A and B are shown apart, each in its own frame.
Chain A
Amino acid sequence: MAEEFSPKKKTYVEDIERTLYDIRDEDRSAYKTHSGLTKDIILDISKRKHDPEWMTEFRLKALETYNSMPLPTWGPDISELNMDEIVTYVQPDAKMTGNWQEVPEDIKNTFDRLGIPEAEQKQSLAGVGAQYDSEVVYHSIQEDLVKQGVIYTDMETALWEHGDIVREYFMTLVPPKDHKFTALHGAVWSGGSFVYVPEGVHVEIPLQSYFRLNAAGAGQFEHTLIIVEKDASLHFIEGCSAPKYNVTNLHAGCVELFVKEGARLRYSTIENWSRNMMNLNTKRAIVEKDGIIEWVSGSFGSHVSCLYPCSILHGENARCEFTGVTFASKGQNLDTGASVIHAAPHTSANINTRTISKAGGAATYRSAVKVTRNAPFAKCSVNCESLMLDSESRSDTLPVMDIEGDEADIGHEAKIGRISDEAIFYLTSRGIDEEEARAMIVRGFVEPIAKELPLEYAVEMNNLVNIELEGTMG
């Protein structure tokens, strides 16, 4: 064991440097609903959001569904979550604008600290959406994309300006009855992004939406709806964070991605919620013939996370690439993974994940791969590796495979382990000290994933591994 190398000291990778995220702004919301979930609250939210009538009805129906459904019987314990204490709608004291100068200063400062306007200015982003609590406060898109017919806006604007498209797709891929928290989402959703990329258009520079939850005891329920038409392509980045409070916050977002024939969508998420967050998020993509969905998913924050982006490979030759990294530290139970449904011939999927747990954190990799009878010659390969940095931490791997058809090519490789003493000896025999050797091995472990992350986020992840310190515990 590693202890043999330095009996009096114990190396550990520090928790993620959270200082940046933990700066809270004073609560200066314009309006908050009462906590809890009643028909009156839903009607109140709907009225304040100026929903079209069909949406008000949609919400009420979703509320009924919510009330009729039990809590999920599997996954991490979420009994701490008391919906009666959650404020589902917090309207910030700001109107949506396309000019950072018009965003209230403290809100703008928050996004400055996160580096969003800077990235936009450097044109490493072609469009930016910034949500603060329940509403989007800033939105922009490059002019040339607008000219090509690309739509990138908040969901509220989309409801009115592109109502037909929204109504055609909204919560059809993730229906409210999917599970209790999608029903909740259907009832109280607010904010999020709508992206429409017309046929043949390639959005070369990524769009990024950032979600910031500032209010204590609140929930965030943003809805992201992306449609990439035939032979078009897009890279969409989603980031989220929140300052830490002593009360439970809830995130139950929903992401629906429609990847049409020959289209390609890369969806990158870096989630760094604070350690009081219940993150019960649902993401799903449906991919048509020759289309490609690429998920890049980094889960670093939250108290409890349940996150298993699902890809339905609906058309022949549709493909899914899933790349994920999860880092669970003290007080965290992160249950993450992916799900793939092969529903057409010659569909293929690659799932590649790394999880790290330390300081008593629990990380579970959970996946479901289904190959239906309609998917001859489906190909799927799963590679999940876990690294536990100490003996208090937990790591589990729960891959499920359900293969109905013949002629499927399925591969699965799982590894759970600790840092190998022989690897440390090898590196130290080259003059590298033990701390650095351990850090190198941890960095090396996540390297295949880190290189897929958007640059700023890859730097952030490396920083967190670099904060490898000589502890005094042990």
Chain B
Amino acid sequence: MSQLLEIKDLVAGVEGKSILKGLSLSVGKGEVHVILGPNGSGKSTLMNVIMGHPKYEVTGGSIAFEGEDIADLKTFERAKKGLFLSFQTPEEIPGITVENMLRTAKQAITGEKVKIVPFRRQLKALMEELKMKPEYAERYLNVGFSGGEKKRTEILQLLMLNPKLAMLDETDSGLDVDAVQIVSEGVAKFHNEENSCLIITHNTRILEKLKVDKVHVLMNGEIVEEGGPELIEEINSQGFTHILDRHSEGK
């Protein structure tokens, strides 16, 4: 199967310190992948590096998207290619409304002028599905939003911008049961055969409505194990140490 995202031997870090130490990972079109790993193993760094955060320096390996090397592209260019990152802690940006940001982003990504009436109709319908009050469209982006509202706003953006690859960085963390439900329904609504998801989570509830194709276990900047959804169960019951032990023995 053709790979949507293909990462080979990626070495990246910040201020001369390597965080990702030769990591390889591939996501095929239409697939749902989950990344598990203990805190500090490099999961968020991986997503930031894929998105092109200028803070991180890539010193080795390659990142290809739809067969094209994107390592030298700027963040906005990667977004235009179809990458999307749902942030673990979304930024608060005063003075820019949710609607204004989304309209500008949609225009930038499609390269076409956004027609205001259908845009608003779509926005309103999606906000309803995500159980967001309509006035949030006019609020400044994430300013004064609760944790759950911020995450729902991320999913709103995901659905409005409709990327090819959705990277979700702990979109379910810090949410109550109902909010996780709403968010996971949103992700399920987004996902189809034409797009892919790469999900970081400590929680399995967000995955309930999705068919997980592959699980990667990331520890200390490397993928130490890969497998099917059964790995999630195993880690949930036995923890990461168990995997690490097995990994060390294997060496």
Contact = CB atoms under 8 A, between A and B. Distances in A.
Interface of A: 4-5, 420-423, 425-434, 436-437, 440-441, 443-448
B94 A444 contact: yes
A443 B76 CA distance: 20
A443 B51 contact: no
A431 B91 contact: no
B54 A444 contact: no
A366 B93 CA distance: 26
Contact of A431 (B94, B95, B109, B140): B109
Which of A432, A437, A446 neighbours the largest number of chain B CB atoms within 10 Å of its CB?
A432
A430 B80 CA distance: 8
Given A444-B94, A446-B95, A428 B104 contact: no
Given A429-B85, A444-B94, 10 more contacts: A422-B91, A426-B91, A430-B109, A431-B80, A431-B161, A432-B101, A433-B74, A434-B76, A445-B94, A447-B94
B54 A421 contact: yes
B93 A431 contact: no
A444 B140 contact: yes
Given A430-B79, A430-B157, A441 B105 contact: no
27 contacts: A4-B55, A5-B74, A421-B55, A422-B91, A423-B91, A425-B51, A425-B53, A426-B87, A427-B101, A429-B78, A429-B84, A430-B109, A430-B157, A430-B161, A431-B76, A431-B80, A431-B109, A431-B161, A433-B76, A434-B74, A434-B76, A441-B95, A443-B95, A444-B96, A447-B94, A447-B95, A448-B95
Which of B51, B53, B78, B84 neighbours the largest number of chain A CB atoms within 10 Å of its CB?
B53
Contacts of B108: 430-433, 436
Contacts of A434: 74, 76
Nearest to A432: B108
Given A426-B93, A443-B95, A431 B55 contact: no
B93 A5 contact: no
Given A426-B91, A428-B79, A431-B109, A440 B53 contact: no
A14 to B, nearest CB: 20
A444 B101 CA distance: 11
B75 interface: yes
Contact of A445 (B55, B76, B87, B95): B95
Given A425-B75, A426-B93, A427-B93, A432 B104 contact: yes
A440 B74 contact: no
Contact of A444 (B79, B93, B161): B93
B54 A423 contact: no
**Overall SS of chain A's interface:** helix
Interface in B67-106: 74-76, 78-80, 84-85, 87, 90-91, 93-96, 101, 104-105
A422 B85 CA distance: 13
A431 B53 CA distance: 13
Lowest 3 CB-CB distances: which A-B pairs, in order? Answer: A444-B95, A447-B95, A431-B79
A433 B109 CA distance: 10
Nearest to B95: A444
Nearest to B94: A444
Contacts of A427: 93, 101, 105
A452 to B, nearest CB: 13
A428 B95 CA distance: 17
Contacts of A426: 87, 90-91, 93
A436 B108 CA distance: 10
B157 to A, nearest CB: 7
Interface string B29-58: 000000000000000000000010111000
Nearest to A433: B76
A448 B143 CA distance: 13
A16 B96 CA distance: 22
Contact of B96 (A431, A433, A441): A441
Contacts of B78: 429
Contacts of B161: 430-431
A51 B146 CA distance: 64
A441 to B, nearest CB: 7
A125 to B, nearest CB: 28
Which of A421, A425, A431 neighbours the largest number of chain B CB atoms within 10 Å of its CB?
A431
A447 B97 CA distance: 10
Which of A429, A433, A444 neighbours the largest number of chain B CB atoms within 10 Å of its CB?
A429
Contacts of A429: 51, 75-76, 78-79, 84-85
A434 B76 CA distance: 8
B164 to A, nearest CB: 13
A425 B47 CA distance: 13
A423 B89 CA distance: 11
Nearest to A5: B54
B219 to A, nearest CB: 26
Nearest to A445: B95
A429 B79 CA distance: 6
Nearest to B79: A431
A4 B54 contact: yes
Contacts of B140: 444
A430 B94 contact: no
Contacts of A433: 74, 76, 108
